[in-house]
Amino acid sequence: MSIETASLLRRLGAMIYDTVLAGFSIVIVAGVIAVLFSKITGVKLPDLLMVLLYLALAYGFFTWFWTHGGQTLGMRAWKIQVVGADNQPISQQQASLRFLWSAVCWLSLGIGFLVSLTDRDKLAGTTAIPAPG
């Protein structure tokens, strides 16, 4: 059985929306944590720990939304959702692999999107489909 996938334009729209929303939210939360850390310890949070904090917050944001309804806020706006095999919700493990693949896509300046156009099996057994309704 073939599952209809969301168009590249819709996925890019959701990605831009989520990048802005999650990006600002993550920077604000990480900033508050860094200021509190500095006030409590008197030491600036090291840059490497800030990067790890950004990654941890991004991971939490995306994997939580993907495993709780299959949609980030950007995906809701663009009416797409992530599903696993047979249109089932995805597991934490699948969400983690999807997050990793998304990071590779970003770091490779979008080459992952080109791969996703030809990869019918989809990494981690997940795919973005048009949301019902």
User: Of 27-36, 67-76, 108-117, which range is least confident?
Assistant: 108-117
In the predicted model, is pLDDT for residue 117 greater than 70? Answer: no
pTM above 0.75, yes or no: yes
User: Of 4-13, 31-40, 69-78, which range is least confident?
Assistant: 4-13
Alpha carbon distance 96, 102 (integer Å): 10
Q: Find the DSSP H helices in the chain.
A: 8-41, 47-67, 73-77, 92-107, 111-118
In the predicted model, is pLDDT for residue 75 greater than 80? Answer: yes
Which has more pLDDT, 74 or 12?
Answer: 74
Q: What is the pLDDT of residue 1?
A: 52
